Structure 1
Amino acid sequence: MTRRLTVHDLQSAKGSRKWLQLHVDTPAEAAAAVACDITVLSCEPDHNLEPIRRAAPLAFLSAGMPHGAVASPEEAVRLGFAMINRGADAVYCSHSPRFIEAMAAEGIPVTGHVGLVPNRATWTNFRAIGKTAEEAIKVLRAVRDLENAGAACIEVEVVPVRLADHITRSTPLITMGMGCGSACDTQYLFSSDVLGTHSGHYPRHARRYADFVTLESELQEKRIAAFRAFGRDVTEGLYPEARHQVEMDDAAYDRLLTLSQSL
């Protein structure tokens, strides 16, 4: 791509292309993603949003609106525009459709969420959603509600593959699939799961391709060793050496003493 990926590009490729998608936490991760032709990204709207945008200038970037950050559709529009102005191409929103509808009416591309929605997991627990026909129809109704609200994309998380396939084939929305096979328009994972950045629980659909926990542990050991050596050298008079400091010649110092008498 020689220009930034758009909603129109994603919608035009629906049914004919599978996009790779990552949720990234840092500019370095964003740069690594686009180096691998992963050009659909998501991130949090924290201090890294602008640096991530700069690291991936042509990627389609969805920034997450924190659940509960807004209490009215008007607030959602205001925050949505603020995120777009900071560099996001779309706003992820797990609020109700009326919030999404308000943003969509103003031309803000919105990504909704169905299936396992972590921000609403108190109603479902963390599990697969839609394994029964009765629960699956609720998921489909939620998809229709997001369609009617004007969403552009929809995250489909941890639903049966056949349900994800049905959703993808029957909705004009770009489906972003996580934990539901390869049925959706994007194959979506979190960079933290791919990189193995934590030692806690990993979801069933995650696959670790690296062990950053071990790498970070090794780096921490090197930090401690370097800081300890620094402290030891200072204590033993080995740092600073002459090459680490700036000197003043005798004439300049004598002149300083003379001038200082007038202070």
Structure 2
Amino acid sequence: MARSRPTVADLQSLKGKRQLSKLRVFSLEEAEAAERAGIDLISVPYDVMLDPRFRDAAPTCFAIPGDERIKLGATANEILRMAVNLRAASADAMYCSASLRTIRRLRDEHIPVCGHVGLIPAHATWTGGFKAVGKTAESAAFVWKQVRDLEAAGAFAAEIEVVPASVAAAISRRTPLIMISMGAGTGCDAQYLFSEDVLGSNRGRYPRHAKRYRDFSAEFDRLQNERIAAFREYADDIQSGAYPEPRHTVEADPEEMRKFEAYLESEGY
């Protein structure tokens, strides 16, 4: 049976019934691959979401655009304006790690919001940097309060990042939010990874929760070596005269060339 694009209500009806899959994709090609692989949810950069070809590539993935621009000081009005544009471009929801007041603004305009709790990279200085949040009863209560605040603000979902699996499971059982685990175990409603980690194209440090299914970096290295070799051969051919060959050029008709030479001579050249 053909798959149809889920609604927020569809996702909420699945809570506690099956695990959803979520990927952060970075291009139309990756969005299409996610669609064809049957991924449920995708996080999409703004420029990909706004590309008119996006829904041809991923017609049934539930798309939640997420972008760094919100983390760079955008105001509530700017976030709202962008959210309206993204919804017009067929976004299903909006990722927002800004203030609860901003999330309420989006909710009031009927824009579904996915929030963020636990380790929030943009706000990590408040929780001690890039490390797990919720390992003590006190910090677990802090994560629970974050979730309750998002509920009150009108969010429908939340990423829960690098929180102990038992804590995340206990929270997920007690909230109506769709809890999207990034390194927070299987007791949540969805699992979330970045495509660069799944594909092995990440050149930097891999987070603990990442799992590599392919080694694209080795393929990229191979292609780069092939690129260098091809460029070197091209440069060598130019120096040796092997390029261009007659088949790479066009020739003038001999009689027309004779006339052109005569013209140049008549002009004193």
TM-score, normalised to structure 1, is 0.90
Bigger shift: residues 151-160 or 2-11: 2-11
Bigger shift: residues 53-62 or 105-114: 53-62
Relative to structure 1, the CA distance from residue 241 to residue 114 in structure 2 (aligned partners, 3 Å threshold; closer, same or farther) is: same
User: Contact 2:71–2:122 at 8 Å: present in 1 too?
Assistant: no
User: Contact 2:44–2:64 at 8 Å: present in 1 too?
Assistant: yes
1:4 pairs with 2:2? no
Q: Distance in 2 between matches of 1:254 and 1:53?
A: 59
Relative to structure 1, the CA distance from residue 5 to residue 69 in structure 2 (aligned partners, 3 Å threshold; closer, same or farther) is: farther
Q: Distance in 2 between matches of 1:200 and 1:72?
A: 31
Q: Distance in 2 between matches of 1:258 and 1:62?
A: 69
Q: Distance in 1 between matches of 2:261 and 2:104?
A: 74
1:244 pairs with 2:248? yes
Relative to structure 1, the CA distance from residue 86 to residue 257 in structure 2 (aligned partners, 3 Å threshold; closer, same or farther) is: farther
Alignment gaps of 5+ in structure 1: none
1:196 pairs with 2:232? no
Q: Distance in 2 between matches of 1:47 and 1:3?
A: 21
User: Contact 1:193–1:208 at 8 Å: present in 2 too?
Assistant: yes
Q: Supply the AA of the counterpart residue of 2:107.
A: A
Following TM superposition, by how much is the alpha carbon of 1:257 offset from its aligned partner in structure 2, in angstroms? 7.8
Relative to structure 1, the CA distance from residue 47 to residue 237 in structure 2 (aligned partners, 3 Å threshold; closer, same or farther) is: farther
TM-score, normalised to structure 2, is 0.88
User: Contact 2:63–2:91 at 8 Å: present in 1 too?
Assistant: yes
Bigger shift: residues 90-99 or 29-38: 29-38
**Identity fraction in percent:** 47
Q: Distance in 2 between matches of 1:141 and 1:81?
A: 28
> 1:58 aligns to what?
60
Q: Supply the AA of the counterpart residue of 1:116.
A: L
> 2:26 aligns to what?
25
User: Contact 2:27–2:48 at 8 Å: present in 1 too?
Assistant: no
Following TM superposition, by how much is the alpha carbon of 1:74 offset from its aligned partner in structure 2, in angstroms? 2.2
Following TM superposition, by how much is the alpha carbon of 1:117 offset from its aligned partner in structure 2, in angstroms? 0.5
User: Contact 1:5–1:60 at 8 Å: present in 2 too?
Assistant: yes
Following TM superposition, by how much is the alpha carbon of 1:87 offset from its aligned partner in structure 2, in angstroms? 3.9
Q: Supply the AA of the counterpart residue of 2:100.
A: P
User: Contact 2:23–2:42 at 8 Å: present in 1 too?
Assistant: yes
| Alpha-carbon RMSD | 2.4
Q: Could you list the per-position Cα deviations for residues 92-141 of structure 1 after superposition, in whole angstroms to 9, with x for gaps in the alignment?
A: 11111111110111111111000110111111211111111111111111
Identify the match of residue 178 of structure 1 among 178, 182, 191: 182
Q: Could you list the per-position Cα deviations for residues 207-245 of structure 1 after superposition, in whole angstroms to 9, with x for gaps in the alignment?
A: 112222221111100000011111111222212222223
> 1:110 aligns to what?
113
Identify the match of residue 99 of structure 1 among 99, 102, 108: 102
Following TM superposition, by how much is the alpha carbon of 1:178 offset from its aligned partner in structure 2, in angstroms? 0.8
> 2:146 aligns to what?
142
Q: Distance in 1 between matches of 2:77 and 2:144?
A: 27
For the residue of structure 1 that corresponds to 2:46, the secondary structure is: coil
1:220 pairs with 2:221? no
